[in-house]
Amino acid sequence: MSKQSTHQVEQFVKCHQGSVRGFLSFMGCGRDRLDDLVQDVFLSFLAANFEDRGEKATRAFLRRIARNLYLKALERERRQPKMLNPELLESAWVEFESDDAGDGYLDALRVCLGGLRGRALEVLRLRYAESIQLIPLAARLGLSESGVKSILVRTKGKLRDCVDRRVGA
Amino acid sequence: MKSSADRILDYALGRHFSMEPTIDLSERIAQRWAEGEGGSLQPDELQALGSSTKPKAIRGGHRTGLGHWRGWILAAACLLLLWAAAALLPTAPRLVSDPGPAQPRPWQVQLSEPIDLYRGPESKALRSSTILAGDTLFMAETSPELSLGAGLTLTARGPALFSIERLHGALQIAPLAGELTLAGQPGLAWALNGVALSFEAPSRLSLQLAGSFSPAPRDWTPSGVLAFLREEREADQALLLMLTSGQLGRGIGDNANLLGTGEELILVGGEVLSEEVWRRAQGLIRDIAPSGPGDMVAANYWSPERAREQSQQFAEMIAEEPALWGVLGAALRGRARQGVLNPRFAMALLDLLIYGEEPRAREQARSLWMTDPAAFNPRQVVAMASFGYFEFQRELEAQWALAGEQDWEGLPYAIYAGMEGDARGEQLLDHALRNPEERTLASGEFGLAALALESLGESGAWDLVQDPFEAAFEAALLAGELTRAQQVVLQVEALAALRREPGGKAWVQIFRLATGPLPTKEFSDESSASLRQRLDLALGG
C-alpha cells in the first residue's frame, strides 16, 4: 500500500480490523489494550510499505506484526505469555478463519449451542456473556466450584466435538 | 495449558456471547496515519517480519523534515533505552519470537551410531548437527534400536543443565559443562525407539525418553525371559517396559506390532505367574498373529466381544495373584498417558475392575480416572459413585446437570438420582420406560429405570417392563440365540431380587450383568419362573 489516501487507509482497516482484533484476542490480549494494539498494528503495517502480494500474504503479515507487538507488550510488563507455541496458535487461527473469516465455525457453534439446554447453557452464558469468574458463578448457581468447572469442561468438550463434526462435514 | 482447539472454542464462545459493540477504528487509524504517526515497530523490525520492500524510515502520509528527524531521534532513544535495559537486566528472559539476532547455537550432537534423527517429520536425517535452542529431534519409528553402549555424544559449548527423564522417575540429572557421552552399561541394551531429544533453551537440555527405557534379557526364548524375570529385581516393571517398547514382542516371535493392544497385560500376568499361563499368553499371540509381523492387530480385532473375552482371561489369571492389580493399574495408566490405550479393551477391563468384588481392582479403576477420564462410560461413573468415590460423585453431579430431558446418555445418572430420591430425572426415566429400545433393554438400564421410578412412587412402573422383557426373550428364542435369552432371564431375576431388597449397591450388578460374562449365580424369583422354565427347556435341561 503505497501513497495511500485517507479513504484507502480507512477501507483497508475496515476490511482487516476484525481479523486483527480477533487474532489478538485469540492470542490472549485483554480488552484493556486491544484497541491500542489494533491501531499500532495497522500503523506499523502502513509504515512497512508492504508490497501487495494478495490477501493471504497481507493477512499473514498483519498477523506477524500483531503477534510481535503483543509479545513486546507482554515483555515490557515482564509477563510471560500464557500461550502455546505461537506458530501452532497461528496455524490454528488460520484454520479457524479459513476463507470466511471464521463464519463457518461460528455458524456451526451457533447450531451446537442450540442443542444445549438447562444448566450447561446457563453456565456458558454467565461465563462468556457476563464474564463471571468461577467462584461467584458457582455461588450464584448453588454449585461447588469444581462442579461448575466440570460442567464447563464437559460442555465445551461436547461443543468441540459437535463443531468439529459440522465443520468437517 | 489449553490446546489450540480449546482456545479457538473459547474465542468463538466469547465472540458468540459478546454483547459489546465492536468499535470501528478505521477513521481513527487513517487520521493518525495522515498526521504522520507510525506504529511502534522499527523499520528493521518490520523488515525482519517480512516486509518485502524497505520500510519507510519516515512514517506518515505527509512527510516533513521534522517527521524524518523525529523518527530517527525516537528510534535512537528507543535503542538507547533497550541497551540500558539489557545492561541492567542481563538475565531478563527473551521471548522466543523476539525478532532479535539469532542466538548462538550451543549444542552439538554427534551420532556415532548410524541412526537417523530428524528435526521434524519431513526434514532430512541428521548425522551430526548443531542444535538450535527450542529444537526437538525425532527418531524415526523405523529406526533400529539405538544402543547407547555405542554412544550418543552431546556436546555443550557452555555451562548447562543436562537431564534424562525416563518413564518411571528421573534417571539422572547432572550439571554439564563440556561434553557428555551417554553410554550403556555393560551387558544391557537400552531401548530408545520413539525417543524425542528435546533441546529447550540455551541453558537447559533435556533428553526425554518418551517410550521406553529398560534393561532387556539376553535370551529371548520364553525360558530365557522367564529366567530373567525371576532373577531381576522389579522384574514385573521391567517386563512392562519391555512390552511397552515392543522388545518382548520382537523377542518372542517378531510380534512387535502388538503394541497398543491389551496382550501385554495378559503377558504380564502370565509371565510372573507360571509357565502354564505363559503358554496361554503365547497362544493368544499366535492366535492374533499367525503369520508374523504386519498389520496384525487391526481395529476390528478388538470387537466388544473379543475385548470382553480377553479382559476376562486376564482377570482369571490375575485372580490367582491379586498383588498384580498394582501392575495392571500401572500398565493402564502408562498406556493412557501415551495415548495408546485401546478404548474397547479399556472399557471391558474397567467393567471387570468396577463391577467385580475386588476393592483393589476398583482402586486401579479409580487411579485410571486421574489419567484418562474419557475411558469411562456413564455406567461406570455411576457405579464408582455408588461405591462412594467422591471424584465420581462430583463427575456424576456435573453430568447430571448437563443431561437433557431426552438425553439417553443421561439415563444412568437419572437412575442413580431416582434411586437416591431425586425426582429431577423422572421424565427421562419415564421416557426410557415407554421407549424400550434394544440398546436400553440390553444395557440393564431399562429395568433399572423401572425400579428408580417405582422408588419415586410410580407404582405401575414395574409392570411396564414385563412385556418388553417377555418379547425380547421370545425373539431371542426364535432366533436361536440362547445366550441372549439367558441374559434376559438373568436380568429379570436380578431386577426382581433387587426389587425385593432395595437399597445397598446391589443394583450395580445389573450393569455387570449387561456388560460382563453371564454370572454363574442365578437369582431365583417367582416373577421370572416361567421364563426360567422355558429357558431350561430350550437349553435342554
CB contact, 8 Å: A166 with chain B? no
Contact between B25 and A39 using a beta-carbon 8 Å cutoff:
yes
Which residue, among B28, B33, B45, B376, would best test binding to A if mutated, counting the most A CBs under 10 Å from its CB? Answer: B33
Confidence of residue B495 (pLDDT cuts 50, 70, 90): confident
Cell of B167: 518413564
pLDDT for the residue B165: 33
CB–CB contact A10 B30 (8 Å): yes
| Mutation site, A33, A42, A110, A137, interface B, largest B CB count within 10 A | A42
Please write the tens of the pLDDT for every residue from B460-484: 888 888 888 888 888 888 887 777 7
Interface test with A, best of B58, B72, B97 (most A CBs within 10 A): B97
User: To the nearest whole angstrom, how far is the Cα of A64 from the nearest Cα of chain B?
Assistant: 7
Cell digits for B364? 486401579
- pLDDT band at residue B40, thresholds of 50, 70 and 90? confident
User: Which has more confidence, A96 or A117?
Assistant: A96
Report the residue of chain B nearest A11, measured CA to CA.
B26
- pLDDT given at position B150: 35
**Across A41-66, average pLDDT:** 83
Nearest CA to B201 out of B279, B292, B105, B345 is that of B105
Residue in this structure with the C-alpha cell 529444537, named with its chain if needed: B135
| Residue type present at position B35 | E
Contact A19, A45 (CB under 8 A): no
> Which of A10, A39, A160 shows the shortest C-beta gap to B5?
A160
| CA gap B168, A164 in Å, rounded | 36
> Is the Cβ–Cβ distance between A116 and A155 less than 8 Å?
yes
Is the pLDDT at A105 greater than 80, yes or no? yes
The arithmetic mean of pLDDT across residues B20-25, rounded, is 72
Cβ-defined contact of B59 to A109 (cutoff 8 Å): no
State the average pLDDT over residues B353-377.
82
DSSP state of B21: P
Which residues in chain A have their CB less than 8 angstroms from residue B54's CB?
49
- Reported ipTM: 0.88
Q: Mean pLDDT, to the nearest integer, of B321-332? A: 65
Candidates A43, A51, A154; nearest CB to B399: A154
At A164, is the pLDDT very low, low, confident or very high (cuts 50, 70, 90)? Answer: confident
Cα distances from B470 to residues A83, B203, B530, in angstroms, run 59, 72, 10
Inter-chain residue contact A80 with B93, CB threshold 8 Å: yes
Q: Which residues does chain A have within 8 Å of residue B19's beta carbon, measured at their own beta carbons? A: 129
Find residues 59-98 of chain A whose CB sits inside 8 Å of chain B: 60-61, 64-65, 67-69, 71-72, 74-75, 78, 80-82, 84, 86, 88-89, 91-93, 96
- pLDDT of res. A103: 85
**Tens digit of pLDDT for each residue in B173-213?**
233 333 333 433 222 223 333 333 433 333 333 333 333 33
User: So what's the pLDDT on residue B53?
Assistant: 52
* Chain A environment of B46 (Cβ under 8 Å): 44, 47-48, 65
Query: Is B39 within 8 Å of A41 when comparing Cβ atoms?
Result: yes
Answer yes or no: is pLDDT of A93 > 60: yes
**How close A162 gets to chain B, by Cα (Å)?**
11
Chain B residue with Cα closest to A112: B13
In the prediction, which pLDDT does B363 show?
A: 86
- Comparing A10 with B240, which gets the higher pLDDT? A10
Residue B367 neighbours by CB distance under 10 Å: 14
Task: Find how far residue B285's CA is from the centre of its chain.
Answer: 24
**What is the pLDDT at residue B50?**
65
**pTM for the complete prediction?**
0.40
- Residue B393 scores a pLDDT above 60: yes
Which residues face B152 on adjacent strands? B111, B182
Q: What's the mean pLDDT in A118-127?
A: 83
% of chain B beyond a pLDDT of 90: 0
Q: How many CB pairs under 8 A join A and B?
A: 211
Give Cα separations from B353 to A49, B113, B384, B518, B519 (angstroms): 66, 45, 10, 16, 15
Positive or negative CA dihedral for B158, B164, B169, B173? Answer: negative
Exposure on the CB side of residue B74, measured as CA atoms within 13 A: 16
Residues in chain A with CB shorter than 8 Å from the CB of B27 are 10
The answer to whether the CB atoms of A129 and B404 lie below 8 A apart is no
Mean pLDDT of A131-156: 80
Question: How would residue B231 be classed by pLDDT, with cut points 50, 70 and 90?
Answer: low
**Average confidence (pLDDT) over A145-163:** 81
The Cβ of residue A105 has, within 10 Å, a number of other Cβ atoms equal to 23
Instruction: Locate the DSSP E strands across B37-148.
Output: 107-111, 117-118, 125-126, 128-131, 136-139
Q: Of residues A86 and B454, which shows the higher confidence score?
A: B454
Task: Note whether B38 contacts A47, CB cutoff 8 Å.
Answer: yes
Whole-angstrom Cα distance, residue B399 to residue B378?
9
Instruction: In whole angstroms, give the CA distance from residue B124 to residue B134.
Output: 18
Hey, of B40, B53, B390, which one would you mutate to test binding to chain A, going by the most A CBs within 10 A of its CB?
B40
Residues of B in contact with A132 (CB under 8 A): none
Average pLDDT score over residue span B51-68: 42
d(CA B238, CA B487): 41
Task: Choose the closest CB to A160 out of B9, B50, B98.
Answer: B9
Chain B residue with minimal CA distance to A155? B402
Average pLDDT (B154-172) is: 34
CA distance B185 to B13: 55
Q: Is the pLDDT of residue B7 over 70?
A: yes
Q: Are A147 and B401 in contact (CB < 8 Å)?
A: yes
CA–CA separation, B437 and A102 (whole Å):
40
A18–chain B Cβ distance below 8 A for any pair: yes
At residue B400, the pLDDT reads: 79
Residue B80 scores a pLDDT above 80 = no
Q: Which of B7, B15, B18, B29 is best to mutate for the A interface (most A CBs within 10 A)?
A: B29
B319 membership: H or E segment, kind and range: helix B304-319
**Residue A147 above 80 pLDDT?**
no
Q: Are B253 and B263 in contact (CB under 8 A)?
A: no
> Residue B112 in contact with residue B153, Cβ under 8 Å?
yes
Residue of B nearest to A111 (CA): B16
Residue with the larger pLDDT of the pair B385 and B80: B385
Report the pLDDT value the prediction gives residue B497, as an integer from 0 to 100: 75
Instruction: Tell me the helix, strand and coil percentages in chain B, rounded to 5.
Output: 55, 10, 35
